[in-house]
Amino acid sequence: TPSVRLKGLQVTEDPKFGTQPFLVVEEGRFRIRLRPLFSGRVELTELTLDKPRVQIIDDGAGHLNVASLGPTASPGRPATRPPAATAPAGATAATISRVRLKDGVAHMVRRGAKPLDLRLEAIDLMVRPAGDTFALEGAARLEPGGLTLTLSQTTLQLPPGHALGDAPLRATVAVKGADVAGLVTPFLATPALHGPVQGTLRLAGTISHPTAQGELAFSA
Mean pLDDT by groups of 10 residues along the chain of 220 residues: 86 88 92 83 87 90 76 45 46 76 93 85 94 93 88 89 83 87 60 77 88 82
Q: What is the pLDDT of residue 83?
A: 44
Q: What is the pLDDT of residue 54?
A: 94
Q: What is the pLDDT of residue 182?
A: 65
Q: What is the pLDDT of residue 102?
A: 96
Could you give the 3-state DSSP secondary structure of residue 220?
Answer: coil
HEC readout, 25-77: EEEEEEEECCHHHHHCCEEECCEEEEEEEEEEEECCCCCEHHHHCCCCCCCCC
Q: What is the pLDDT of residue 114?
A: 78
> The pTM is what?
0.75
Q: What is the pLDDT of residue 191?
A: 53
Q: What is the pLDDT of residue 70?
A: 59
Q: What is the pLDDT of residue 155?
A: 95
Q: What is the pLDDT of residue 144?
A: 81
Q: Under 8 Å CB-to-CB from 75, ≥6 apart: which residues?
A: none
